[in-house]
Amino acid sequence: AQTVTQSQPEMSVQEAETVTLSCTYDTSESDYYLFWYKQPPSRQMILVIRQEAYKQQNATENRFSVNFQKAAKSFSLKISDSQLGDAAMYFCAYRSTFGNEKLTFGTGTRLTIIP
Amino acid sequence: SQTIHQWPATLVQPVGSPLSLECTVEGTSNPNLYWYRQAAGRGLQLLFYSIGIDQISSEVPQNLSASRPQDRQFILSSKKLLLSDSGFYLCAWRNGGILGDIQYFGAGTRLSVL
């Protein structure tokens, strides 16, 4: 079974600075999908970014980018120019491409933005 | 555009009472639908998913059940709630048949069983 590990329960960053959230996963599959979701105080899960494992190029969405290291099974999220609205819980998630519908989530990292 | 509605937003129920949470999706047809639960301070755990009407798969044996009476309606139920059923319940959908497409989540229901 796949597992997702987020080793940083809490992180903080000064407004306008850059922060990196870590995620590692364990799988025996070669093709899969990885996601970062954001959960603000409203509790709704919002997709931040996704990565397809067969693509070597790191995904980027505006101020959000990932560092995908397939061999190391690492999928970190970098937030540049941090804004107050970025404060939230961030969850890393894994999904297989083979029939299984399940998103496997990590335990999350709480990100605080310091004004 | 597609939207997902989930209700109620909050619910307080006594132990042993029944439960019915509803989720509907608009703007798409034949979506894959999901129920997740999030315990306090933890990630999400998939409870049920459905790829079509009356096609329900259970991921975790529970005191809960799910039904999909219509294409875009997904219901989470229990006949008798337990204290351990307390948590935050999220419904999600994705385009059926498209591998790797994104799961979109509803606003969630906070359930407190007392």
Read off the pLDDT of residues A55-91 as tens digits, 9 standing for 90 and up: 889 999 999 999 999 999 999 999 999 999 999 999 9
Radius of gyration of chain B (CA): 13
CB contacts < 8 A (A, B):
52
**Hunting for tokens 């933890």 — which residue is that?**
B42
Per-residue pLDDT tens over the stretch B8-38: 999 999 999 999 999 999 998 889 999 999 9
Per-residue pLDDT tens over the stretch B2-13: 889 999 999 999
- All structural domains of chain B, each given as residue ranges with its CATH number in brackets, are 3-113 (2.60.40.10)
Which ranges in chain B belong to alpha helices (H)? none
Binary contact (B44, A105; C-beta < 8 A):
yes
**C-alpha span between B49 and A56 (Å, rounded):** 30
Q: Beta strands A109-114 and A10-14: pairing type?
A: parallel
**C-alpha span between B53 and B51 (Å, rounded):** 7
Report whether the peptide linkage leading into residue B31 is cis, meaning its omega lies within 30 degrees of zero.
no
Binary contact (B92, A45; C-beta < 8 A):
yes
pLDDT for the residue numbered B99: 58
Helix (H, G, I), strand (E, B) or coil at A58: coil
Distances (CA, A) of A47 to A22, A61, A84, A110, B65: 17, 11, 18, 16, 27
B contact test, residue of A103, A104, A109 with most B CBs within 10 A? A103
Chain A residues in contact with chain B using a Cβ-Cβ cutoff of 8 Å: 4, 33, 35, 37, 42-47, 50, 52, 91, 95, 97, 101-103, 105-108
pLDDT for the residue numbered A38: 96
Per-residue pLDDT tens over the stretch A18-39: 999 999 999 998 889 999 999 9
Binary contact (B42, A108; C-beta < 8 A):
yes
- All structural domains of chain A, each given as residue ranges with its CATH number in brackets, are 3-114 (2.60.40.10)
A44 vs B59, B103, B105: nearest CB: B105
**A43 min Cα distance to partner chain B (Å):** 7
Residues from chain B that touch A5, judged by Cβ atoms under 8 A, are none
A97 vs B44, B49, B100: nearest CB: B100
Per-residue confidence band for B100, with pLDDT thresholds at 50, 70 and 90? low
**A81 min Cα distance to partner chain B (Å):** 26
Residues from chain A that touch B90, judged by Cβ atoms under 8 A, are 45
